[in-house]
Amino acid sequence: MRLKIHDWHEENAKKMADYAGFEMPIWYSSIKDEHLTVRNNVGLFDVSHMGEIIVEGRDALEFLQYLTTNDISKPPPISATYSLILNERGAIKDECLVYNLGDKYMVVYDAVAVAKIYEWFSLFSRFYDVNIINKSYDMQLYSIQGPKAESLCKELFDIDIKEMWWFQAKKINYRGVDIIVSKSG
């Protein structure tokens, strides 16, 4: 599979490789240069290969409380909770971030588990009044990291990340596109 900006990656990346069925950029200049840039400045990562499931409906909170380990009822709307998704024996299937978007939830998890987690959620959805939507191949997800990430976010989105608490998110419109900006690790 290809990321939405695959052609740009292919044109600019020095090395591409497969990860969980996605053709991903591995590096552009060198691993060392990119590591140092992110450690000392700022870097942008295309993590659009991650899985995303939207959970909506009357029982969405109860459904996610059953399938994930942390209490997602406590954080306010437009924030995320780090959690785990367990199997029938209580072993970890994957880690995830559960975003409370106010009227629905978005679960973000690793690309390796896209089909596995969607099937798991679908299996249990018949017991709840929920709608499960796999958005894993439709959404774009980017991570801005490094000591100058806050200033770049201020410049791009006019958001003061320093004022946000960990796992807080904001819905904004950026160049005509509705996006979610989240402060997470």
| Residues 26-49 pLDDT 10s | 888 999 999 999 999 999 999 999
* Statement to judge: residues 101 and 149 lie in one domain: no
CA distance 74 to 31: 40
Q: Nearest Cα to 167, choosing from 126, 106, 85?
A: 106
Within-domain flag for 1: no
pTM, full prediction: 0.91
pLDDT for the residue numbered 181: 94
Whether the per-residue pLDDT at 10 is higher than 80: the answer is yes
* Statement to judge: residues 127 and 145 lie in one domain: no
Write phi, then psi, for 65 (nearest 5 degrees).
-65, -35
pLDDT for the residue numbered 51: 94
* Statement to judge: residues 14 and 60 lie in one domain: no
* Statement to judge: residues 118 and 147 lie in one domain: no
* Statement to judge: residues 63 and 28 lie in one domain: no
What's the DSSP call for residue 157?
H
Within-domain flag for 113: yes
Within-domain flag for 82: yes
Whether the per-residue pLDDT at 185 is higher than 80: the answer is no
pLDDT for the residue numbered 148: 97
Domain of residue 167 covers 6-48+140-182
Burial (CB < 10 A; 0-12, 13-18, 19+), residue 52, is buried
* Statement to judge: residues 55 and 110 lie in one domain: yes
* Statement to judge: residues 37 and 57 lie in one domain: no
Per-residue pLDDT band at 6 (split at 50, 70, 90): confident
Q: Percent of the chain having pLDDT more than 70?
A: 99
Domain count, the chain: 2
* Statement to judge: residues 146 and 164 lie in one domain: yes
CA distance 27 to 43: 12
Burial (CB < 10 A; 0-12, 13-18, 19+), residue 138, is exposed
Residue 109 and residue 117 in contact, taking contact as beta carbons nearer than 8 Å: yes
